[in-house]
Amino acid sequence: MNVTTKETVEVSMSNVEEASGIKSAKTQSETAVDGQQDKYFSCRSIHAYYGDSYIVQGVDFDMNEGEILALLGRNGAGKTSTLRTIARMSDPLLRQGEIWMDGNALHTAASFEAARLGVALVPEDRCIIQGLSVEENLKLAQIAKPVGWPLEKIFEHFPRLAERRRQDGITLSGGEQQMLAVARALARDIKLLLLDEPYEGLAPVIVQEIERILVEIKSLGITTIIVEQNAIAALKLADSALILDSGEVVFRGAAQEVLDDENLRHEYLAI
């Protein structure tokens, strides 16, 4: 794996933490900010850069376990960059701030460690592997532990994928590829699902099918962040909303508040 020097330092730091048990025994100052109770997932003033370009500018929010958060904002607002920072990709580079999930520090983790801890990023391009069947794409996800749903359970929940299990993943329709991308996340034992524009380019009937799957995922207690241009659909599904503008949080609150506030939608979402 291609890691930068800083990441190498971070990896070794987290190894030291693991060995010393620091992660499971957090100090009071790490678990509470301003006297607030610790949440299942927290981004605490995260700042991330592509080289010298300062993009994620102090994003700060908390989530409860099993919550769905709609992460919204205009093109270029920093939504994808925020998801990538949480998944601990090397680009953009997190330079300041903390990310906590279920008592684990993600800010000191490398991307593979974040994945092992249960963070799953489903990118906009879905990353279906060409030349592999639907079933092989799913099996590949299960090579490394911890494994999530067994294949048969996945096929029970995604009958369209079951019908196409031997078909090359890349030949699926857009909606089916999105389902495969979500199914591949569930093939691993995940705690936090990060979805980047899952409805993009899909017909309304397919969007509804994916929405049904996301409701089911929520019922399993998985925490989800959904980035969507189709803000109304995302807000109807979500419990809470976070709106970004130029890499900064401009709104944080209940999803219903955004649905009810035409001015807010107009100003930051152009809808």
Minimum CB distance to ligand ATP smaller for 154 or for 181: 181
Write the CA distances from 181 to 69, 111, 143, 170, 225, integer angstroms. Answer: 19, 18, 16, 11, 15
Minimum CB distance to ligand ATP smaller for 78 or for 118: 78
- Least distance to Mg ion, CB of residue 228, Å: 10
Residue matched to tokens 């090397």: 90
Does position 198 interact with ligand ATP (CB under 6 A)? The reply is no
The token duo for 149 is 């749903």
DSSP letter at 106 equals: S
Longest Cα separation, the chain: 54
- Least distance to Mg ion, CB of residue 82, Å: 9
- Binding partner selected for residue 20 from Mg ion, ligand ATP, none, CB under the kind-specific 5 to 8 Å limit: none
Does position 85 interact with Mg ion (CB under 5 A)? The reply is no
Question: Can you tell me which of 14, 42, 80, 108 binds Mg ion, judged by CB under 5 A?
Answer: 80
The interaxial angle of helices 174-186 and 134-141, nearest 10 deg, is 30
The token duo for 188 is 């691993």
Does position 52 interact with ligand ATP (CB under 6 A)? The reply is no
Residue 70 · residue 214 · CB < 8 Å: no
Tell me, by CB under 6 A, how many residues bind ligand ATP.
12
Q: Contact letters (x/-) for ligand ATP, 64-93, by CB under 6 A?
A: ---------x-xxxxxxx---------x--
Peptide bond preceding 92 in cis form (omega within 30 of 0): yes
Residues at the site binding Mg ion, with contacts judged by CB under 5 A: 79-80
Residues at the site binding ligand ATP, with contacts judged by CB under 6 A: 50, 53, 55, 73, 75-81, 91
